[in-house]
Structure 1
Amino acid sequence: MQRRLFALTALAIGTLFTAPAFAQNKPVIGVSVPAATHGWTGGVVYWANRTKDEVEKQYPGVKVIVKTAASPSEQANQIQDLQAVNKIDTLVILPFESAPLTRPVAQVKSKGVFVTVVDRGLTDPNAQNAYVAGDNPGFGKVAGEYMAKAMGGKGNVVILRGIPTVIDNQRVDAFNEVMKAHPGIKVLDAKHGNWNRDDAFKVMQDFLTRFKQIDAVWASDDDMAVGVQRAIEQAKRTDVKLVVGGAGAKDYIKKVMDGDKLVTANVTYSPSMIADALKLTAESRVTGKPMPATTIIPSVLVTKENAAKYYFPDSPY
């Protein structure tokens, strides 16, 4: 799916990269992303490194430095070093978390560094020059509408949230807004599974212990869906009829393709957006062409009918 979405996005912006590069501007671009703590961020790291090579080849003299961080504090320190030691004049950052990174990014921007924020928005938009992300409200809305229809407008649902971030709030708010239109569906609880399989497993164990009837689970991420399904299987619960994850991990797209009884749909949210962000930023910095303040990549519902379009078995995620 990642390659498919990247290709589609590239078509939309392809004209930006067919024009010859202007050699007079040779930015030093720092790329700061979370370490591969789960499948989706593993895809982000893959695309960041792959696109570094592409950008440096396309624009001779441009330098791209990719850094990965295992915590918000490590990422904050890294971006300070990128500015002070590596002398970057451009930063493309996918924040580990929103709140802890807002001030450090703002400080770097105040020193003249052009900042593109990707995916996990900061709590203060003034700390950035540009923003590139998937459609997070759409991600929650598409999942909510599908689940409401699949549940026939009634039943009990539990929610697993991601890491506390602006995008998680956007997703959950949009999902809950859909559910308000379906009074027959009761949201029993929502807890943070941190986009992590083990954390999601523990959260789902708690849900299964406390609630005797759960009809559906919005895992809101394919890694969390793995933990959710493991907990359901261990508890030998048969009441859960639907698990919807998200982000298009190849294993879950395959489940949809194969007609899995619990996993009948997915919602796209590709880690290749870091590639889009880096290419857009590099083109703008080299040529001087203004970069859009906001670039949003749509979320698409994946069902058995269209799953083959989003299945790439050789992709890293």
Structure 2
Amino acid sequence: MKPIFRRLAFGLSAMAALLTASGALAQDKQVNLGVAIPAATHGFTGGIVWWANEAKKELEKQHPGLKITVKTAANASEQANQLQDLLTVNKINTLVVFPFESASLTRPVAQVKGKGVYVTVVDRGLTDTSAQDAYVAGDNTAFGRIPAEYLAKRLNGKGNIVALRGIATTIDNERMDAFKAVLKNYPDIKLLDARYANWNRDDAFKVMQDYLTRFKQIDAVWAADDDMAVGVLKAIEQAKRTDIQEVFGGAGSKGMVKTILEGKNKLVQADVSYSPKFIYEAIKLTAEARLKGEALPPKTIIPSVLITKENAQQFYFPNSPF
């Protein structure tokens, strides 16, 4: 082969190698992100679903190398099956998961991570943190501490409280532990009972009916969720009970914040923030970090604050689904 042709062949080979390397680099920057979240079974998860789809719509438009698949599950076993589908059918390399339950989803998420998928867990933590790369949540300790401090002050350090818990998850445990820790400082406040009502207004209605039957004097209710608070208020209204001074929900739904702003219900004077928008933030943070080939901090906590009539306008979003 003549020298000029040798140089040309070498140049073409080098160019081909460069193009191959460039293609591989571009391929490395492709992020196929799966989002696994509970279905919209109540107001808060309705907000989660809405914000997750907003993230898909906005982030895919901003980042051509990003594909987002959102799956919603009605129960823990369905979510576990969806995780396998995201891995084998959708070929994800990144996962943002809001576990339906903590214990039952830990192993399925760990299996996905074991296949080399980057995992961000949101809100309901897993029982084994080695199954995740990052964790994003609201401040669940503050979510339990703030209402306990507020109710203790409201009752002047004396009275009977009943509580409604959510679903058996790590965040529910964090909230309840923080609530009880505050009440230890008030020996004249008695926590009569704390039962699960699944963050559901119908279940909360039934639990509160039971409380009203069993306890003749209830001074305050920690409903621990705005949907549950709606069920609690309905039960109190039907029973025509006048002993209860306050019903404290949680999460800052637009309906509850509007009630606080308007002052139409004397039983609802305060709430604590915990917006479902954090799923949007978790997806955005994870996607943009992975597009850069970076990792998130091990834990990102979004603050929760007390909502009263004085600051409620800052937390009122009438166009939000929650």
Normalising to structure 2: TM-score of the pair? 0.91
Q: Which deviates more from structure 2 when the two are superposed, residues 306-315 or residues 111-120? A: 306-315
| 1:290 CA drift (Å) | 2.6
| 1:313 aligned counterpart, secondary structure | coil
Please tell me the residue identity of whatever aligns with 1:273.
Answer: F
Match of 2:299 in 1: 294
Out of 159, 165, 178, the position equivalent to 2:163 is 159
Out of 117, 123, 144, the position equivalent to 1:119 is 123
- The 2-side partners of 1:106 and 1:61 are apart by 26
Match of 2:19 in 1: none
- The 1-side partners of 2:189 and 2:261 are apart by 27
| 1:111 CA drift (Å) | 0.7
| 1:154 CA drift (Å) | 0.5
* Percent identity of equivalent pairs: 67
Q: Which runs of 4+ in 1 moved over 4 A?
A: none
| 1:53 CA drift (Å) | 1.3
Match of 1:282 in 2: 287
Please tell me the residue identity of whatever aligns with 1:227.
Answer: G
Please tell me the residue identity of whatever aligns with 1:160.
Answer: L
Match of 1:137 in 2: 141
Out of 84, 89, 100, the position equivalent to 1:85 is 89
Please tell me the residue identity of whatever aligns with 1:300.
Answer: V
> Aligned residue pairs: how many?
296
Match of 1:99 in 2: 103
- The 1-side partners of 2:252 and 2:44 are apart by 9
Match of 1:240 in 2: 244
What aligned pairs does 1:1-317 form with structure 2 within 5 A after superposition? 25-259=29-263, 260-317=265-322
User: Per-residue CA shift, 1:275-300, capped at 9, x if unaligned?
Assistant: 01001100111002331110000001
| 1:313 CA drift (Å) | 1.3
- The 2-side partners of 1:286 and 1:313 are apart by 33
| 1:76 aligned counterpart, secondary structure | helix
Q: Which deviates more from structure 2 when the two are superposed, residues 186-195 or residues 48-57? A: 48-57
| 1:258 CA drift (Å) | 1.5
- The 1-side partners of 2:319 and 2:68 are apart by 26
Q: Which runs of 5+ in 1 are unaligned?
A: 1-21
- The 1-side partners of 2:295 and 2:70 are apart by 23
- The 1-side partners of 2:210 and 2:175 are apart by 22
Greater RCO, CA 8 A, separation 6+: 1
Task: Let me know the Cα RMSD of the aligned residues.
Answer: 0.9
| 1:117 aligned counterpart, secondary structure | strand
| 1:168 CA drift (Å) | 0.1
- The 2-side partners of 1:308 and 1:276 are apart by 22
Please tell me the residue identity of whatever aligns with 1:111.
Answer: K
Please tell me the residue identity of whatever aligns with 2:135.
Answer: Y
Please tell me the residue identity of whatever aligns with 2:299.
Answer: T
| 1:142 aligned counterpart, secondary structure | helix
Normalising to structure 1: TM-score of the pair? 0.92
Q: Which runs of 5+ in 2 are unaligned?
A: 1-24
Please tell me the residue identity of whatever aligns with 1:153.
Answer: G
Match of 2:12 in 1: none
